[in-house]
Amino acid sequence: MRCDVVAVGTELLLGQIVDTNSSYLGEQLALRGIDSLLQVKVGDNLHRMVAVLRARLEEADAVIVCGGLGPTHDDITREAIAEVMGVRLEEDAEVAERIIAMFESRGRRMPMNNLRQAMVPVGATVIAQTMGTAPGLICPVGGDGTSSDDGDDGGGGGKVIYAVPGVPYELHDMVERAVLPDLARRAGLESVIASRVIKTWGDSESGINERLDDIIAELEGADGPTLAFLASGWDGLKIRLTVRAADAETAEDQLATWERRVVERLGSIVFGCDDETMESVVLGLLRRRGLRLALAESVTGGLVAGRLTDVAGSSDVLVGSIVSYAGSVKRDMLGVPEGPVVSAEAATAMADNVRGVLGADVGLALTGVAGPAEQDGLPPGTLWVGVAIGDEVESHLVRLPGDRLRMRQFSVITALDALRRRLLTIPEPVPPTDR
């Protein structure tokens, strides 16, 4: 099965919009084992759209067209598809009603051109719109270039054009709900796809690749999962395992087996999987130990607190943060001794004393050089992290890469990771049992 992609919109050609829809579609098709061998962009021009669609249908079994389904005069995807199918456009009463009702429910007058979106090529099936006003379309194209009127959209060697709106979240919804299932049915693929994302911090992509060398070689031979790396900045370095199997249970079994092998091999650099983030993991470790956290942030200026408070429910663990940016704040509020403020002494004093100032059990401190200039002879990328729990106060020196933005972002995940590793050495209290 081959499904090519056509992205419609003059603004794509002018570089005003980046064509993220095609990359999303490419990824989704690949995950399902459907080849997408050519992806093109075309402007809002009827003749060129018709020519591109005809050419794609010559080579591919299916084409997904994204964009140009809106209400304005330059949205002409419907017209182009009707021409390729060799049919007229007809108003779909149900779609028209839904558009009218949507405007009424919002108490707004409907510009008449909105009804253009209810025009459907004869023989096409509508993908109901859930969010926007434009519905999607599933358009069978017979082997001879006309619509197959036998009502059997799967067979007869016919091809198909799917039209979906350009707005990414509307497109995602329709592709997942209608396009991919329809493609799978046509391709006779009754398999399920499942994936797991393993998240790491503390080694490079090539370093991890090397550690996993033999596992990757085994995967390439086996009919098992595929493994891909995804460097995601301060969200960590991700490893995605994807499997295809006859049913969900088998897929889950396979995933679990390979996940165990990868996690065992990588050890403590793995901090979580799937929806877990470094922030949610650290908050969970603190919560289960009944510990409350205070932050003293210099180089990150509050970014650590920002990330932690993105997590719902963080207030039962995070007490607060002191943005001790100026030397005077470090000294007067946090008791940092005279001398360089990017140092082990400063980091330990900040972590140790912020607990008392804010009333918390655990202190985490960051002081460093974000650049671009060096500071006290230290190069940009220098980070000192302080961690204080009980009587133990430790500090770590880290050298981070990147410009000012990346250095500060890497500082956040690096400091949280230092705290995570420290917390893992403290046993979790065993919950009381009934007996």
Does position 136 interact with ligand ATP (CB under 6 A)? The reply is no
Q: Which of 17, 55, 126, 329 binds ligand ATP (CB under 6 A)?
A: 17
CA 319/CA 224 separation, integer angstroms = 46
Element (DSSP H or E) covering residue 243:
strand 237-245
Collapsed DSSP state (helix, strand, coil) of residue 140: strand
Q: Which long-range contacts (CB under 8 A, 24 or more apart) does 19-24 make?
A: 20/168, 21/66, 21/67, 21/166, 21/168, 21/171, 22/66, 24/168, 24/171, 24/172, 24/175
Least gap, CB of 75 to Mg ion (angstroms): 5
Q: State which of positions 288-327 bind ligand ATP (CB under 6 A).
A: none
Task: List the interface residues with ligand ATP, window 167-206 (CB under 6 A).
Answer: 167-168
Partner touching 132 among ligand ATP, Mg ion, none, CB below 5 to 8 Å by kind: ligand ATP
C-alpha to C-alpha distance for 337 and 211, rounded to whole angstroms: 43
Contact assessment for residue 135 and residue 126, using Cβ atoms and an 8 Å cutoff: yes
Q: Rule CB under 6 A: is residue 126 a binding residue for ligand ATP?
A: no
Q: Is 44 a binder of Mg ion (CB under 5 A)?
A: no
State which of residues 3, 7, 82, 139 lies at the interface with ligand ATP (CB under 6 A).
7
224 binds, among ligand ATP, Mg ion, none (CB under 5 to 8 A by kind): none
110 contacts ligand ATP (rule: CB under 6 A): no
Angle 200-206-212 (CA atoms, 0-180°, nearest 5)? 70
Terminal Cα-to-Cα distance of the chain (whole angstroms): 60
* Partner in contact with 168, chosen from ligand ATP, Mg ion, none, beta carbon below 5 to 8 Å by kind: ligand ATP
Q: Does 136 participate in binding Mg ion (rule CB under 5 A)?
A: no
- The torsion angles phi and psi of 3, rounded to 5 degrees, stand at -130, 110
**Residue 171 CB-density burial (10 A; 0-12 exposed, 13-18 middle, 19+ buried):** buried
140 is a contact residue toward Mg ion (CB under 5 A): no
Q: How far is the CB of 144 from Mg ion (least distance, A)?
A: 32
Size of the site for Mg ion (CB under 5 A): 2
Q: Which of 165, 224, 236, 363 binds ligand ATP (CB under 6 A)?
A: 165
* By the rule CB under 5 A, 173 interacts with Mg ion: no
Spatial CA neighbour of 89 closest among 73, 101, 72, 77: 77
Q: What is the binding site for ligand ATP (CB under 6 A)?
A: 7-9, 12, 17, 19-21, 66-70, 75, 132, 134, 165-168
